[in-house]
Amino acid sequence: MSLEKERLAHLGDVALAVSCELGRRQLELAEVRRLEVGSVIKLGKLAGESYQVLINGQPFAEGETVVLGETICMRVTGMVDSPQEVRA
């Protein structure tokens, strides 16, 4: 095991915040005020497009949504070419 791997080995149990970003959209205040149960917000992504997987707010991978039983999940379909260092 390399020296760097040895130094980082004890960090294996550190919890990281993982989020899957389906899209973003800016809304005007008037639009936000009209939101109610059942409102639909278009996110600017097409069905079937890849979504970003973020770790501690930093892009880490791309994925697609899948349904397993009654749970919505994200299948990793690609990794970011040069991910920034992930900070806990």
CA distances from 69 to 10, 21, 26, 63, 75 (A): 35, 21, 33, 18, 14
pLDDT of residue 15: 87
The domain over range 13-79 is classified in CATH as 2.30.330.10: yes
51-87 per-position pLDDT tens digit = 899 998 899 999 988 889 999 888 999 998 865 544 4
pLDDT of residue 88: 39
pLDDT of residue 86: 45
5-61 per-position pLDDT tens digit = 777 777 778 888 999 888 888 999 999 999 999 999 988 777 778 889 999 889 999
